[in-house]
Amino acid sequence: MTGILKYVFYASYNTVAVFMLLGWILFLNTYFNDALLPSNWMTSYGAAMLLRVVIALVEAAVVVCVMYLVNRLIGSLLFPAKTRIAFWTATLSFAIVLTVVIVSAYQIYRQGL
Protein backbone atom coordinates (compact mmCIF):
# COMPACT_ATOMS: atom_id res chain seq x y z
CA MET A 1 0.00 0.00 0.00
CA THR A 2 1.13 3.50 -0.69
CA GLY A 3 1.53 6.05 2.08
CA ILE A 4 -1.71 8.00 1.71
CA LEU A 5 -3.77 4.88 1.06
CA LYS A 6 -2.68 3.47 4.43
CA TYR A 7 -4.01 6.54 6.19
CA VAL A 8 -7.28 6.43 4.23
CA PHE A 9 -7.75 2.75 5.12
CA TYR A 10 -6.91 3.37 8.78
CA ALA A 11 -9.23 6.38 9.03
CA SER A 12 -12.08 4.56 7.25
CA TYR A 13 -11.72 1.53 9.50
CA ASN A 14 -11.78 3.68 12.63
CA THR A 15 -14.72 5.77 11.45
CA VAL A 16 -16.75 2.60 10.92
CA ALA A 17 -15.59 1.30 14.31
CA VAL A 18 -16.74 4.48 16.10
CA PHE A 19 -20.17 4.31 14.45
CA MET A 20 -20.45 0.66 15.42
CA LEU A 21 -19.43 1.56 18.98
CA LEU A 22 -22.11 4.24 19.17
CA GLY A 23 -24.69 1.81 17.81
CA TRP A 24 -23.65 -0.84 20.34
CA ILE A 25 -23.93 1.62 23.24
CA LEU A 26 -27.36 2.76 22.00
CA PHE A 27 -28.51 -0.87 21.73
CA LEU A 28 -27.27 -1.76 25.21
CA ASN A 29 -28.70 1.41 26.72
CA THR A 30 -32.06 0.77 25.11
CA TYR A 31 -32.53 -2.91 25.91
CA PHE A 32 -30.12 -4.18 28.58
CA ASN A 33 -28.80 -1.48 30.90
CA ASP A 34 -32.04 -1.10 32.87
CA ALA A 35 -31.55 -4.67 34.10
CA LEU A 36 -28.19 -3.60 35.60
CA LEU A 37 -29.72 -0.77 37.62
CA PRO A 38 -31.04 -1.69 41.06
CA SER A 39 -34.50 -0.26 41.67
CA ASN A 40 -33.55 1.27 45.03
CA TRP A 41 -30.86 3.41 43.30
CA MET A 42 -33.41 5.00 41.00
CA THR A 43 -34.68 7.58 43.45
CA SER A 44 -35.27 10.24 40.80
CA TYR A 45 -35.21 10.71 37.06
CA GLY A 46 -31.88 12.57 37.28
CA ALA A 47 -30.24 9.81 39.30
CA ALA A 48 -31.42 7.20 36.81
CA MET A 49 -30.04 9.24 33.90
CA LEU A 50 -26.71 9.70 35.68
CA LEU A 51 -26.44 5.96 36.32
CA ARG A 52 -27.26 5.21 32.68
CA VAL A 53 -24.57 7.64 31.49
CA VAL A 54 -21.98 6.09 33.83
CA ILE A 55 -22.82 2.58 32.61
CA ALA A 56 -22.66 3.72 28.97
CA LEU A 57 -19.26 5.34 29.53
CA VAL A 58 -17.88 2.23 31.24
CA GLU A 59 -19.09 0.12 28.32
CA ALA A 60 -17.50 2.60 25.91
CA ALA A 61 -14.20 2.51 27.80
CA VAL A 62 -14.07 -1.28 27.59
CA VAL A 63 -14.81 -1.30 23.87
CA VAL A 64 -12.30 1.51 23.21
CA CYS A 65 -9.63 -0.52 25.03
CA VAL A 66 -10.35 -3.45 22.71
CA MET A 67 -10.27 -1.05 19.74
CA TYR A 68 -6.91 0.23 20.99
CA LEU A 69 -5.42 -3.27 20.97
CA VAL A 70 -6.74 -3.94 17.46
CA ASN A 71 -5.52 -0.53 16.26
CA ARG A 72 -2.13 -1.20 17.77
CA LEU A 73 -1.88 -4.43 15.81
CA ILE A 74 -3.09 -2.86 12.56
CA GLY A 75 -1.03 0.27 13.17
CA SER A 76 2.14 -1.75 13.70
CA LEU A 77 1.54 -3.50 10.39
CA LEU A 78 0.70 -0.36 8.43
CA PHE A 79 2.90 2.22 10.17
CA PRO A 80 5.93 0.52 11.71
CA ALA A 81 7.67 3.81 12.58
CA LYS A 82 4.64 5.43 14.24
CA THR A 83 3.77 3.60 17.42
CA ARG A 84 1.61 6.34 19.03
CA ILE A 85 -1.09 6.35 16.34
CA ALA A 86 -3.19 3.73 18.15
CA PHE A 87 -3.11 5.75 21.38
CA TRP A 88 -4.27 8.93 19.69
CA THR A 89 -6.95 7.05 17.75
CA ALA A 90 -8.28 5.53 20.98
CA THR A 91 -8.20 8.92 22.70
CA LEU A 92 -10.08 10.55 19.84
CA SER A 93 -12.60 7.69 19.70
CA PHE A 94 -13.33 7.94 23.41
CA ALA A 95 -13.64 11.74 23.19
CA ILE A 96 -16.19 11.39 20.39
CA VAL A 97 -18.17 8.76 22.29
CA LEU A 98 -17.99 10.78 25.52
CA THR A 99 -19.36 13.86 23.76
CA VAL A 100 -22.16 11.98 22.01
CA VAL A 101 -23.24 10.13 25.17
CA ILE A 102 -23.27 13.23 27.35
CA VAL A 103 -25.07 15.41 24.79
CA SER A 104 -27.62 12.66 24.12
CA ALA A 105 -28.24 12.08 27.82
CA TYR A 106 -28.67 15.82 28.39
CA GLN A 107 -31.19 16.03 25.54
CA ILE A 108 -33.14 13.06 26.92
CA TYR A 109 -33.00 14.50 30.45
CA ARG A 110 -34.32 17.87 29.25
CA GLN A 111 -37.23 16.22 27.44
CA GLY A 112 -38.10 14.14 30.50
CA LEU A 113 -38.48 17.07 32.87
pLDDT at site 113: 59
Query: For a pLDDT cut of 90, what percent of the chain falls above it?
Result: 3
| CA atoms lying within 13 Å on the CB side of residue 95 | 6
Which residues constitute the domain of residue 60?
Answer: 3-35+43-112
Count of domains observed in the chain: 1
The rounded mean pLDDT for the chain is: 84
pLDDT at site 1: 62
Cβ neighbours, 10 Å, residue 30: 9
pTM beyond 0.85, yes or no: no
Q: What is the pLDDT of residues 48-89, one digit of tens each?
A: 888 888 888 888 889 889 988 888 888 888 877 766 788 888
Cα–Cα dist 108/113, whole Å: 9
